[in-house]
Amino acid sequence: MHVAEATPLGRTPTERLESLAAANLRRERRTVRPIDVCSIEIDGRTLLNFGSNDYLGLSKHPDVLEATIEAVRTHGVGSTASALICGRTEWHERLERRLAEFEGAQSAVLFPTGYAANLGTIAVLAGAADTVFCERTNHACIIDGCRLSGARLRVFRRDRLDRLATELDRSKSGRLIAVDGIFSMEGDVAPLRELHELAVRYDATLLIDEAHATGILGETGRGSWESCGIDDDSVIRIGTMSKALGACGGFVVGQTDLTDLIWNTARTQMFSTALPPAVCAAVVTAIDVIAAEPNRRLHVRTLSRRLRSCLADVGIETLGDPEIPIVPVVVGDPKRVVEASSQLADRGFFVPAIRQPTVPRSSDRLRMSLTADHSFEEVERLAAAVADVVSNGGAT
Ligand code: PMP
């Protein structure tokens, strides 16, 4: 059989890796040793970590660790089966209830990851005769979910909601608007009030991925939904337990019939092994900490303001909104951003270089993420190092 050379199977893995390397897009497998919430060791060097999504520092909180270890002792490591067979333990049930209560929702359903939650849920909600309206910088798993659903895909921009309104008005099919609450590579909050108004006006379903907002935004930490004042339980909210909740796994909260339907039909839930029970115990405890210690989210939000203002003082532009603990600085091309990241490592900071396809071509960027365990002094030192590397080309 003849295979065209340009197809993936028409080129060897070596050839494909060489193309990636030539474009400065080949990623290294780096091995990291966690030291504490704020530092990691890479290649024998201890670096202050500005790359993790552990926004509240809960991955190493003593209460969370204790609950996890205890649950491993009583329930073992793996859940041993999918939730539909016999993998759903009392810890899964407790976590579903705790998440629903924390989120002010009727009900919750768990997934192995946030990626699987978006993929599986969107594919349940929409079908070939429907239209999904997807914001252009939504996370890959929302885009993949839209594709998997087989629905007609319309991409919109959050700064051109007039065009979205026109498209919604024209569309005759079932409509789903899917959007990130916080955009993970831009650090801004979606215009959710306006999107909610459009969803109501055009009878569309609104789905918000709260991955980076859970535990951070809103008065009680429910996310961007809460901070934008949307109180409508027909809105579907997807979350991950891998960021502010410090563990791993995904969830959906909404009306009970919806979460039951998802539990019954979302293939990424049905055909994948349930989360380890100890992970569920960890997250139940992490939610208790979030409720008991609101200062964590207030501190990380203030740190973001401080970092942004320190960078602005030395003429460095950042993307995003003031209190979002994701602070991106666009460098512009893959080679320069990797160099900038490596020069920051020489100065004792881990700041990841984010390249295409994660962000659009020519907008390669440094992405600093903050945790509640960072101090103002650390953030000020980081700003000085970034200024040195970005403005002065990193002269040592
Ligand atoms: N949504 C967004 C916006 C994300 O940034 C991520 C993870 N980077 C996910 C979903 C996927 O979550 P998980 O890591 O739990 O699969």
pLDDT digits (tens, 9 = 90+) for 87-105: 999 999 999 999 999 999 9
- The sign of the dihedral angle between the CA atoms of 110, 113, 114, 120 is negative
Residue whose pair of structure tokens reads 């060791």 in the numeric block: 41
Q: How far apart are CA 209 and CA 212, in angstroms?
A: 8
Q: What share of the chain is helix, strand, coil (3-state, %, to 5)?
A: 45, 15, 40
The predicted pLDDT at position 348 comes to 98
Distance from Cα 340 to the centre of ligand 1, integer Å: 25
All structural domains of the chain: 27-55+294-391 (3.90.1150.10), 61-292 (3.40.640.10)
Q: Which atom of ligand 1 is nearest to the CA of 182?
A: 3
Distance from Cα 163 to the centre of ligand 1, integer Å: 27
Q: Which atom of ligand 1 is nearest to the CA of 250?
A: 15
Do the bridges between strand 131-135 and strand 152-156 make them parallel or antiparallel, or are there none, so unpaired? Answer: parallel
Q: Which of 216, 242, 354 to mutate to test the pocket of ligand 1 (most atoms within 8 A of CB)?
A: 242
CA distances from 331 to 188, 233, 306, 348, 365 (A): 18, 41, 21, 20, 5
Q: Which atom of ligand 1 is nearest to the CA of 180?
A: 3
Q: How far apart are CA 326 and CA 306, in angstroms?
A: 12
The predicted pLDDT at position 6 comes to 77
The predicted pLDDT at position 396 comes to 45
The predicted pLDDT at position 370 comes to 98
The predicted pLDDT at position 28 comes to 87
Distance from Cα 315 to the centre of ligand 1, integer Å: 31
Q: HSE on the CB side for 32, CA within 13 Å?
A: 16
Triad 321, 325, 327: Cα angle to 5°: 65
Report ipTM for this prediction. Answer: 0.99
Q: Which atom of ligand 1 is nearest to the CA of 118?
A: 10
The binding-site residues of ligand 1, defined as CB within 6 angstroms of any ligand atom, are: 113-115, 118, 139, 141, 180, 184, 209, 211-212, 240, 242, 250
Q: How far apart are CA 202 and CA 222, in angstroms?
A: 26
pLDDT under 70 in the chain at which residues?
A: 1-5, 393-396
